[in-house]
Amino acid sequence: MEVIRIAGYTPEEKVEIARSFLIPHQLRENGLAAERLRWTRGSVLELITDYTQEAGVRGLERRVAAVCRKVARRAAEGETRPVVVNRKTLERLLGPPPYLLDKPEGPGEVGVANGLACERLRWTRGSVLELITDYTQEAGVRGLERRVAAVCRKVARRAAEGETRPVVVNRKTLERLLGPPPYLLDKPEGPGEVGVANGLAWTESGGEVLTLEATMTPGAGLVLTGQIGDVMRESGAAAFTWARGRGAELGFDAAMFGRHEVHVHVPAGAIPKDGPSAGIAIATAILSLATRIRIRSDVAMTGEVTLRGRVLPVGGVREKALAALRAGIRRVILPRKNLQDLRDIPRDLKKKITFIPVDHMDEVLDAALDRTPVPRSRRASRPHTSRQIATAKPR
């Protein structure tokens, strides 16, 4: 059985769903004319943010229905004035908002619970970002909330013991209160290495950067390690077969694969990995190994590869792009057919990452390798140059 995961709605999408479908439906169900109960866009947004906490709209529909029922009852009791829904109306009909969030106030401070005043524990934007990237690894914010609560509890305990100085949260504070970061990422530095490629993967906790390592030892064939699933193993075999047939065009002796065993390892061996999206990363690592050309460390890639070198679309592009950004990677190679998925990526994220769309492995090598491989027959007459790379413009 295949599990289909559906992404949650944004607040703006929920507003449109409520105004176009949920509110008209509940007005009809409760016998109310549209002019009898008027909803503004702001009131719908308040209902979404302060009275619901969900990915879908089921709870929102229940809240809309509750408002309509109470207005219909008052109309049946003789109330004739039209009702305009606003903050006061919602509080009168539904009670205090159960999910009212305290908005941050001041330059870079966040209000803190656990009996602490805002000035007692100060969070900067940078410290919150460090907490997210180095102490959590998830698609949601449940783990983040637990980490924030742990910091607040420890500061509150020290305050109860007589500590009076305000605490400014920074890296040293986080390490002192929470210990060493469990998810500290290695940021790409330097010109890259031969046989080391950054792949992008989708996991239950969001996107992840996988650093694939390839090396050669005496023997023959291909070995894949790192808790590799069957689909990823087959994708690696396809990448290996394609790479073996490119010796003449890319300037290396393909016979080396008959004398050497290629070992590709995906670190974090305790975590199972599967899927075809590492195909182009495996192929790039193998060809880097064969040509002795380094792979750029500031590039990450995702895409399935065929025996003809075509690059096929994959899923989870949004999560993978977020993972690349967290790892400090600013160039992402992806299948051209995945360009449509960039519409789901926030505009500010698209400004920070250069997306390089490709149809074939030749384009992947142009974008990922430190220089373009040159066939041996043309080395004497052609210097090493890089072809122009087409990049996707943010929309």
Three-class SS state of 221:
strand
Alpha-carbon span 46 to 11, nearest angstrom: 10
Instruction: Evaluate whether 159 touches 116 at the Cβ level (below 8 Å).
Output: yes
Three-class SS state of 158:
helix
CA proximity to 207, closest of 352, 325, 323: 323
| DSSP label of 275 | -
For the record, the structure tokens of 118 come out as: 């805002």
Instruction: Evaluate whether 325 touches 352 at the Cβ level (below 8 Å).
Output: yes
Alpha-carbon span 87 to 96, nearest angstrom: 10
Beta bridge partners of 208: 201
Alpha-carbon span 346 to 336, nearest angstrom: 19
Instruction: Evaluate whether 345 touches 318 at the Cβ level (below 8 Å).
Output: yes
206 phi/psi in degrees, rounded to 5? 115, -155
Neighbours of 304 (CB within 10 A): 20
Beta bridge partners of 214: 264
- Residue 393 known to be catalytic: no
Alpha-carbon span 296 to 197, nearest angstrom: 8
| DSSP label of 307 | T
> Which position among 43, 235, 277, 297 bears the catalytic label?
277
Instruction: Evaluate whether 389 touches 366 at the Cβ level (below 8 Å).
Output: yes
CA proximity to 199, closest of 229, 236, 230, 234: 236
> Which position among 320, 337, 352, 393 bears the catalytic label?
320
Instruction: Evaluate whether 83 touches 89 at the Cβ level (below 8 Å).
Output: yes
Query: How far, CA to CA in Å, does 226 sit from each of 39, 97, 182, 196, 234?
Result: 55, 48, 20, 15, 14
- Residue 277 known to be catalytic: yes
Instruction: Evaluate whether 111 touches 118 at the Cβ level (below 8 Å).
Output: yes
| DSSP label of 35 | G
Q: Which residues are catalytic?
A: 277, 320
